[in-house]
Structure 1
Amino acid sequence: MASSDSSERDSISEDPNNSTESVIMSRSGTVRGIHKGVQNRLSMFNACEKESQLSELMIKLILDEAANSETAFPGKVVFYTTSLTSIREISAHCTRIKHILNTHRINFDERDIFLHPAFGDELRERLNCKQISVPYVFCKGLLVGDNDKLESLNEDGELLAMLKEFQQAQLKNCTTCGNRRFVLCNWCKGSKKGLKHNFGFLKCTVCNVNGLQPCADCCEAS
């Protein structure tokens, strides 16, 4: 009886039309089905469905970014500058552009790449270049221009028209940091040393490489 059951058992062989699937053959040579066919079809369907969902998501993200590039600075005017005065031309350009923005009473987010080097890395990423120079202005995540472009836009009266929605009746002055947006680290007092360890001091995790931390008053205002 056991031998009879064994002889009646279906055999599995490779499908000549599809090397990745195996068919179930009966003793008479007829095809009974495909080995794990339903499971494979469900896996393929789920994979296609996920791929379709991912494609739709990517398309949506791309369209959203193209239509409204505010992923990094939503609703902001960002002004990249430096307080380093050793290079007079760059310092003069930054001072001039800041004066123009203040004259138009534009509310902007000032990012000093000297006080906080991470802002420099941020600007390199946005410009997609290794060598950068300031000043630069972005509006709603879109590049407005560098020094020459900003000067030209201002002379033509286009700069104010572009940034008019960010114009304020009166600019706010921070008495804590003097509008620098950074203050001396309250934890390490600028030493950049944190808790003491058996082998010495650990690096302070509150401040940046210059021993500064963001101004709490400016962060609340923004």
Structure 2
Amino acid sequence: MVSGTPTAVKKRNSQDSVSILENFEEKCPLGGENAVVLYTTTLRGIRKTFEDCNTARSVIESHQVQMFKHDVSMHSGFKDELRGLMGTKEVKVPLVFVKGRLIGGADETVKLEEDGKLSTVFSGIPKAVAICNGCAVVRFVMCIGGNGSCKVLDEKGKKTVKCKECNKNGLIQCPFC
């Protein structure tokens, strides 16, 4: 039987961003109040981890929202930051934070995407910026002081010392991003 009075159909995305995010633990990385922060790695040492990181990154990038990629293999400070957030020494990547909430890894991000909730969670986050001319959105550039090495000569030019500007990989965070 069909009723003569039309009724509103409840949409799959009827929950707003705030109510969906309330289901996730509050942990806010630096700068993540109104953005997506992805802790990831670009090292291919462990295939599953590398593939999960790429999956999480590509799902987020498909929504074209502002995302800060914190590559723990490029900068050990990101790993220390993640350890502090999680409160443990052992951390696994990828980990996705949205508006100061820990969403989870690749599986949780893909599940939200498949359920049609990820776009709702991302509502209100600024759109992604164009490709950076300095680093092509890698977020790191070679340190000029050490010519890509974390070791430089001292003032006398005889002894090597650690460069104060770059990390152990001879990189600095992109000044343009």
TM-score (structure 2 length as normaliser): 0.77
Cα distance, 1:126–1:69 mapped onto 2, change above 3 Å: closer
Structure 1: gaps spanning 5 or more residues: 1-65
Given candidates 138, 143, 154, the residue that maps to 1:180 is 138
Alpha-carbon distance between aligned partners in 1 of 2:166 and 2:30, rounded to the nearest angstrom: 25
Comparing both structures, which one devotes a greater share of its residues to helix?
1
Given candidates 118, 133, 140, the residue that maps to 2:99 is 140
Alpha-carbon distance between aligned partners in 2 of 1:105 and 1:96, rounded to the nearest angstrom: 15
Cα distance, 1:68–1:146 mapped onto 2, change above 3 Å: closer
RMSD over equivalenced CA pairs, Å: 2.4
Partner residue in 2 for 1:38: none
Are 1:88 and 2:47 an aligned pair? yes
Cα distance, 1:129–1:196 mapped onto 2, change above 3 Å: same
Query: Could you tell me how far 1:75 is from its partner in structure 2?
Result: 2.3
**SS of structure 2 residue aligned to 1:217:** coil
User: Which of structures 1 and 2 has the larger relative contact order (alpha carbons within 8 angstroms, sep 6+)?
Assistant: 2
Given candidates 159, 162, 166, the residue that maps to 1:200 is 159
| Identity of matched residues, % | 34
Alpha-carbon distance between aligned partners in 1 of 2:117 and 2:129, rounded to the nearest angstrom: 21
The answer as to whether partners of 1:104 and 1:167 remain within 8 angstroms in 2 is no
Query: How many corresponding residue pairs?
Result: 152
Cα distance, 1:86–1:107 mapped onto 2, change above 3 Å: same
Alpha-carbon distance between aligned partners in 2 of 1:175 and 1:77, rounded to the nearest angstrom: 21
Question: Deviation above 2 Å: which 4+ runs of structure 1?
Answer: 66-76
The answer as to whether partners of 1:70 and 1:140 remain within 8 angstroms in 2 is no
TM-score (structure 1 length as normaliser): 0.62
Query: Could you tell me how far 1:71 is from its partner in structure 2?
Result: 6.4
Query: Could you tell me how far 1:72 is from its partner in structure 2?
Result: 5.5
